[in-house]
Amino acid sequence: MVAAANPTQEDVQAETPENVSHQDRVSKIISSSVSWSAAAAVVPVPYLDLLAIGAVQVEMVRRLAAAYGEDADKETLKGLISALLGTLAPAAISASLLGSSLKVIPMSGTLLGSAGLAAFAAAATYAIGKIFVRHFEGGGSIGDFSVDAVKDDLKKEFDSAKSK
């Protein structure tokens, strides 16, 4: 199903049967986004892959916010996700920029770059999704989300996802 440009809580609830729990719905949003992030990493055009991964992550958080009755504008989310990815800077530099840059090397560069970037994108997307779910579950909103407050948890979630 193609996600709405501006999903509401009703859109998210309509995507799944009534007998599926709220937790299952948000888990499905994260799981689907992790898959799409890994797929976006395979885009053979250097740096376009990074834009595609970012778009998947923004849409995931918009859908998660809608599941918790929150309205989240795209520009705010872009800033928050960029700041979260900055927290993962050492991993981001090695996996995303290097992985994307390797794609300029014919054949083997695309394969190597895609594999490394896919692993990073999947782990980062999973970690970001978990951090936002935890924030919303605790009664937080997009307006009071603090990147500084979740840095350590983000790194732990990212490391956990990388080891899976």
- pLDDT tens for residues 14-68? 554 565 798 999 999 999 999 999 998 887 777 788 889 999 999 999 999 999 9
pLDDT on residue 119: 83
User: Region 129-134: what's the mean pLDDT?
Assistant: 97
| Every domain of the chain and the residues it spans | 22-163
pLDDT at 12 over 70: no
pLDDT in tens, 67-110: 999 998 889 999 999 888 877 766 555 544 444 554 445 554 45
pLDDT on residue 3: 47
Long-range contacts, stretch 67-75, CB < 8 angstroms, 24+ apart:
67/9, 67/12, 67/13, 67/22, 67/25, 67/26, 67/29, 67/136, 68/9, 68/136, 68/137, 69/9, 70/136, 70/141, 70/142, 71/142, 72/142
Q: Counting Cβ atoms within 10 Å, is residue 42 exposed (0-12), middle (13-18) or buried (19+)?
A: middle
pLDDT on residue 109: 47
Give the C-alpha separation, 39 to 49, whole Å: 9
pLDDT at 7 over 70: no
Pair 31, 25: CB distance under 8 Å:
no
pLDDT at 163 over 60: yes
Using CA atoms, how far residue 54 sits from 23, 95, 121, in Å, is 24, 14, 9
